[in-house]
A and B are shown apart, each in its own frame.
Chain A
Amino acid sequence: METLQDTETKKTTTSSPTFKGSGSQMLLNALIEEGVSTIFGYPGGAIMPIYDALYDYADKLEHILVRHEQGGIHAAQGYARTSGKVGVAFATSGPGATNLVTGLADAQIDSTPIVCITGQVFAHLLGTDAFQETDVINITTPVTKWNYQITDAKEIPEVLAKAFYIAKSGRPGPVLIDITKNAQLQIEEFEAYVKCNHIRSYRPKPKVRVEFIEEAAKLINSAQKPFVLFGQGVILGNAEKEFKAFIEKTGIPAAWTIMGEGAIPTDHPLNVGMLGMHGNYGPNVLTNEADVIIAIGMRFDDRVTGRLDKYAKQAKIVHLDIDPAEIDKNVKAEVGVWGDCKETLPILTNLVKQNRHEAWVAQFRDYNQQEIDQVITPELYPAGEEMTMGEVLRTLNELTGGDAVIVTDVGQHQMVACRYAKFNKTRSNVTSGGLGTMGFGLPAAIGAKYGAPERTVVAIIGDGGFQMTPQELGTIMQFGAAVKILILNNQFLGMVRQWQQLFHDKRYSFVNITSPDFVALAKSYYIEASKVDQRAELKKALETMINHQGSYLLEVMVGKENNVFPMVPQGCSVSEIRLK
Chain B
Amino acid sequence: MSNDTIKYIPGDANYEGKQDFTITVYAEDRVGLLNRISIIFSKRKINIDSLNTSPSEIAGIHRFTILINESYEVVRKLARQIEKQVEVLKVYFNTDSEVIWQELALYKVSTEEITEKVTVERLLRQYGATAVVIRKDYTVFSVTGHKEETDALVKALEPYELIEFVRSARVAIIKDSAGFHEKLKEFEAEEPGEERVENEFLDKGDKIFTM
Contacts and interface: CB of A to CB of B under 8 A. Distances in A.
| Chain A contact patch, size range | 35 or more
Interface in A123-172: 137-138, 141-142, 145-147, 149, 166
A1 interface: yes
B36 A141 contact: yes
Contact of A6 (B1, B39, B60): B60
Interface stretch (B23-31, B63-71, B96-104): B23-31
Contact of B193 (A7, A137, A147, A207): A207
A324 interface: yes
B192 A205 contact: yes
Contacts of A329: 77, 80
Contacts of A240: none
A332 interface: yes
B47 interface: no
Contact of B31 (A1, A142, A197, A203): A1
Given A212-B202, A332-B2, A141 B35 contact: yes
B201 A327 contact: yes
B202 A336 contact: yes
A197 B192 CA distance: 12
Contacts of B202: 209, 212, 336, 338
Contact of B28 (A201, A209, A212, A325): A201
Interface in A1-56: 1-2, 6-8, 10
B86 A202 contact: yes
B84 interface: yes
Contact of B201 (A6, A146, A200, A328): A328
Contact of A138 (B35, B193, B201): B35
A197 B187 CA distance: 13
A459 to B, nearest CB: 32
**Interface of A: prevailing SS:** loop
Interface string A546-564: 0000000000000000000
Given A10-B190, A324-B80, A1 B29 contact: yes
A199 B188 CA distance: 8
A201 B88 contact: yes
Contacts, number: 88
Nearest to A323: B84
Contacts of B162: none
A198 interface: yes
Residue of B28, B89, B187 with most partner-chain A CB within 10 A: B28
Contacts of A8: 28
A413 to B, nearest CB: 31
A2 B197 contact: no
Nearest to A197: B190
A273 B137 CA distance: 79
Interface in B100-143: none
B194 interface: yes
Given A212-B202, A323-B84, A325-B84, A141 B39 contact: yes
Given A201-B88, A212-B202, A142 B39 contact: yes
A200 B189 CA distance: 8
A286 interface: no
Interface string A418-454: 0000000000000000000000000000000000000
Contacts of A203: 187, 192, 196
Contacts of B60: 2, 6-7
A333 interface: yes
B64 to A, nearest CB: 13
B169 interface: no
Interface string A326-366: 01110011101010000000000000000000000000000
Given A203-B192, A207-B193, A333 B201 contact: yes
A325 B80 contact: yes
Given A142-B39, A333-B201, A201 B187 contact: yes
Q: Quick one: which of A6, A141, A199, A323 has the most chain B CB within 10 A? A: A141
A316 to B, nearest CB: 8
Contacts of B190: 10, 197-198
B187 A200 contact: yes
A206 B77 contact: no
A147 B85 CA distance: 11
B35 A2 contact: no
B184 interface: yes
A207 B199 contact: no
Contacts of B181: none
B166 to A, nearest CB: 27
B81 interface: yes
Interface of A: 1-2, 6-8, 10, 137-138, 141-142, 145-147, 149, 166, 197-203, 205-207, 209, 212, 323-325, 327-329, 332-334, 336, 338
22 contacts: A2-B29, A2-B60, A7-B188, A137-B32, A142-B39, A142-B43, A146-B87, A166-B86, A201-B28, A201-B89, A201-B187, A202-B86, A203-B187, A205-B192, A207-B191, A212-B202, A324-B83, A325-B81, A325-B84, A329-B77, A329-B80, A334-B2
Interface of B: 1-2, 27-32, 35-36, 39, 43, 60, 76-77, 80-81, 83-84, 86-89, 184, 187-188, 190-194, 196-197, 199, 201-202
Given A200-B187, A209-B194, A324-B201, 8 more contacts: A2-B29, A2-B60, A198-B190, A200-B188, A203-B196, A209-B197, A327-B201, A332-B1
Q: Which 9 residue pairs spanning A and B have beta carbons closest together?
A: A336-B201, A325-B80, A207-B192, A206-B197, A201-B89, A200-B187, A146-B86, A202-B86, A198-B190
